Structure 1
Amino acid sequence: MAGSIEKHGKNSYRLVYSMGFDANGKRIKRTKTVHVKTKKEAEKELAKFIAEIEAGEYIKPAKMSLSDFIQLWRDNYAEKQLSPKTFETYNNYINTRIIPQLGHLQLADIKPIHLIRFLNNLKKNGTRLDGKNSSLSEATINYYRRILKNIFSRAVEWKFLQVNPAEKLPKEKESIGKGNVYDENETRLLLKCLEKEDLKWRLYFTLALTCGLRKGELLALQWEDIDLESGTLYVRHSLSYTKEKGFFLKEPKTKRSKREIAIPSFVLPLLKKYKNVRLREKEKLQDEWEGGNYNFVFATWNGKPHHHSYPRTKWERFLKRNNLRYIRPHDLRHTSATIMLNNGVNYKTVSERLGHSSTRITFDFYVHRTKEADRSAAECFDNQFGA
């Protein structure tokens, strides 16, 4: 067995390693092109190349495009290991941007810089597909990063690559925009306006605010998850939906998302009243009931779960009727956290109440909010005692 070096253009050398002959007498070779300036550097690369081969660590670059590998990843990993909703979401992201922009590249040729450029382009104004002249959010960019890391991790695991080019991609720091939560005065006004609403939706948005629940957690909530005597709400499931599977219950987002939450005392009489209303309605429906064995707290008139887009529609109409400043329904969860922190509730308690996977996530996400509150506190002294 022997190795040799061939000049292969400016600052480029072809490493050749001979491994004898096959059964037909054809020479078996392993080759690799390296980009170095001198022959001495090429000799060092050849030595490493030979060592890799003899140690069994060298992987011949796959003659496969990223697009082709993604299909392999879908068939042999994603469809089996990811939840149906996550699989559907991953595919949407992959088909929208990853394959159109990166799919033509050969898997073995993709370097971290290709992926960094791809993610950086998502930060440019005009990259959104909804017509808005702005960049994608930090959370969305991080989601693309997560998908790429998953795909290339499988490529390494299955010996198509030695190194994951997505392994050390920088993560975007996610934060809440300054105007995306209600302050305490706006929250009081919100609760006052909700008093005029249908009891179901009044409770839906009140629980989103006071308990910091995610949409899927609210829609999955069943009466058995609420102990009206102790005033405790148990988050046990999240409602999900895919075109292929329809509605289904799944485990919450993280292990710590499975939690129990104390319900504010002013909400309990409303829940008791609403539960009695729903029980009477179910009894009247009899054969028209379509909820099966489920007793969802927030469901359609005949017990079926609401589609995920419906609460947002109700929220937007409510805001418009009452001339309230627009924030997303999910921002009620952020409002909940911000109000707790600004009123002295510690990060650990807030983290547990929200179901974050760690207190650090809560701190990183909301620390700028408490700094704003501290600045406002300082301004009180300026207004009262400043020159």
Structure 2
Amino acid sequence: MGWKEHLGGNKYRLVERDPSKVSKPKKSTVVYVPDDIVKSTRKTERWLAVELAGWEEKVLSGEATSKKRSEKISFKDFVPIWEKSYADENMGGKTILNTMEIINSRLIPEFGDTRLDQITTLQLVTWLANLKNLKSGLPLATNTKLNIFKAAKSIFDSAFAWGVIKNNPMDGVKRPSQSKRERKEIRSKKKAYTRAEVEKLLLSLYALPVRWRLYFTGVMMGGFRRGEFLAVEWADLDYERCAIWIDKQITLDKEGNKIEGEVKTEESEDWVAMPKWYMEDLKTYRRDWVKEKLNCKDWQGRSKEYIFHSGNGVMYYPSTPTRTWSKFLEKNELPHVKLHGLRHTAGMLLRESGTDLKTIQERLRHVKMDTTANIYTHKSDTISRAAADQLEDLNPKLAKFAPRSAPYA
């Protein structure tokens, strides 16, 4: 039976007894818990348990090799090991899908045949700085570079943690950050609708089929993520409480197939209160939904009763509402805000109505208050105007005996 020893910080030693050794029967390896996992005690224990089980198996089967031998592995040969031992255990299917696309299109063409221990920090820094768009040849956006950086860091961090390489070349690679120009461009893009725009938008949505009108209205009123609301079933509605239960989402597995998966975080699982008028609309729509199901000759929903489906009970692809939303805005010549911007809009509507940040955080089901304050409650002209209006009564000209302006010298 193996055991773990905490060496401080995110560093642990995994130990197992090797029955084939009489002298020095203990075999150990040092691992480093990834930064995104070590913050959670529960996730850390689960990660270490998986690592320890893997180490025990290697030692008992005689597969445990010295660092010297393992250092000779090439980058492309290490990727499948990383995918199975780290990605499959710690990433969602969609994240693995996107990360593997980056690895196959960017990292393997550059470093594939190179031994992991021979890849240097300077190589990585130079390569990252010179990345271009594969089609246009133009410099990459910082967010795209950041995703490539994260993929590379995850692989090299794992290789270092598992003792495959003695030094981590990513330690000296600076995380990509946005330039002043990029930040200005991002700020200039519309991220949410104003209250007046929402009123117009809600009426414009009547041009859509009922299911899509209710889907987009619900996302905007409840602040749902697109996959969360796609996964809602009729059993998740509580008409008396006027609330919707969220505990799953429609997402993708690592092969790109649509699946029903867990929500983003534990905090995401909760009841979300909704306006009474919206719940009444859903109740009315349910009657039509039941008729549609009964008249469908090829119902494939089985026991699932997704409120929003493709016509035969089957879940939508997560990208379907995104495309539908973009086409709707273009056709009706409405200001373009991304579908996720409706979640931002939900936070902004609450903020402009005077709702405190703690309540907004709970409604949007965020882990941290900073997320609510920095991401979902953007600069508001309404709030800025209201703040300025608070200073109007300080106008000295409103004073009973306001002094005259000083004469010009």
TM-score, with length taken from structure 2: 0.69
Q: What CA distance in whole angstroms lies between the structure 2 residues aligned with 1:322 and 1:344?
A: 31
Q: Indicate whether 1:321 and 2:321 are aligned.
A: no
Distance 1:76 1:360, change over 3 A: same
Query: In the superposition, relative to structure 1, how do residues 78 and 230 fare at CA in structure 2: closer, same or farther (>3 Å)?
Result: same
Partner of 1:344: 354
For the pair 1:149 / 2:160, whether they are aligned, the reply is no
The separation in 1 between residues aligned to 2:171 and 2:272, in whole angstroms, is 36
**Structure 1 segment 1-387 matched on structure 2, within 5 A:** 59-60=67-68, 62-79=71-88, 82-103=91-112, 105-121=114-130, 127-128=132-133, 135-136=140-141, 138=143, 140-166=144-170, 169-170=174-175, 172=177, 177-178=187-188, 179-242=190-253, 244=255, 246-285=257-296, 288-366=298-376, 369-370=378-379, 374-377=383-386
What SS is found at the alignment partner of 2:360? Answer: helix
In the alignment, the residues of structure 2 paired with residue 350 and residue 305 of structure 1 have an alpha-carbon distance, to the nearest angstrom, of 29
Give the aligned partner of residue 11 of structure 1. Answer: none
Q: CA deviation at 1:167?
A: 5.4
| Aligned-partner residue type, residue 315 of structure 1 | W
Q: Which moved more, 1:170-179 or 1:72-81?
A: 170-179
Mapped partners of 2:89, 2:389: distance in 1: 57
Deviates more, 1:356-365 or 1:316-325: 356-365
| TM-score, scaled relative to structure 1 | 0.72
Offset at 1:137?
A: 5.1
User: Contact between 1:225 and 1:236, CA under 8 Å: does it hold in 2?
Assistant: no
Q: Comparing 372-381 with 93-102, which one deviates more in the overlay?
A: 372-381
Superposed displacement of residue 92, structure 1 = 0.9
Q: 1:342, 1:370 within 8 Å by CA — same for their partners in 2?
A: no
Distance 1:243 1:131, change over 3 A: same
Q: Does the 8 Å contact 2:244/2:272 carry over to 1?
A: yes
The structure-2 alpha-carbon separation of the partners of 1:352 and 1:160, relative to structure 1 and needing over 3 Å to count, comes to same
**C-alpha contact 1:341 1:370 (8 A) present in aligned 2:** no
What is the aligned-residue identity percentage? 29
- Report how far residue 290 of structure 1 moved: 0.6
Given the superposition, is the C-alpha separation of residues 134 and 376 from structure 1 closer, same or farther in structure 2, using an over 3 Å criterion? farther
Question: Aligned AA for 1:337?
Answer: G
Change in CA separation of 1:365 and 1:164 when aligned onto 2, cut-off 3 Å: farther
Secondary structure of the residue aligned to 1:234 is strand
- Offset at 1:378? 5.2
Single out whichever of 144-153 and 208-217 deviates more from structure 2: 144-153
Q: Contact (CA 8 Å) 2:248, 2:261: kept in 1 or not?
A: yes
Is 1:66–1:105's contact at 8 Å kept on the other side of the alignment? yes
Deviations 1:161-208 (A, max 9, x none): 244444585374798643222222222211121133221111111111
State the alpha-carbon separation in 1 of the partners of residues 208 and 380 from structure 2.
Answer: 35
Is the Cα–Cα contact under 8 Å of residues 192 and 344 in structure 2 kept in the other structure?
yes
Superposition deviation, residue 79 in structure 1: 4.2
Give CA-to-partner distance per residue, 1:246-304, whole Å, 9 cap, x none: 3321111111111221112221111111112111211223x521101110011011111
Contact in 1 for aligned 2:97/2:255 (Cα 8 Å):
no
67 and 294 in structure 1: CA distance in 2 versus 1, 3 angstrom threshold: same
RMSD value, Cα: 3.3
SS at match of 1:362: helix
SS across alignment from 1:300: coil
Change in 2 beyond 3 A, CA 1:311/1:132: farther
Preserved contact between residue 300 and residue 314 of structure 2 (Cα < 8 Å): yes
| Residue identity in the other structure for 1:349 | T
Deviates most, 99-108 or 298-307: 99-108
Q: Find the residue that maps to 2:259 and give its secondary structure.
A: strand
Could you say what secondary structure the match of 1:233 adopts? strand
Specify every segment of 5 or more residues in structure 1 that has no aligned partner in the other structure, as ranges: 1-57
Q: Distance in 2 between matches of 1:200 and 1:302?
A: 13
Alpha-carbon distance change, 281 to 364 in structure 1, aligned in 2, over 3 angstroms? same
Unaligned runs of 5+ in 2: 1-65, 398-409
- The answer to whether the Cα contact below 8 Å between 2:97 and 2:256 also exists between their aligned partners in 1 is no
Shift in CA distance, 380/332, structure 1 to aligned 2, threshold 3 Å: same
Question: What SS class does the counterpart of residue 252 from structure 1 fall into?
Answer: coil
**What secondary structure does 1:288 align onto?**
coil
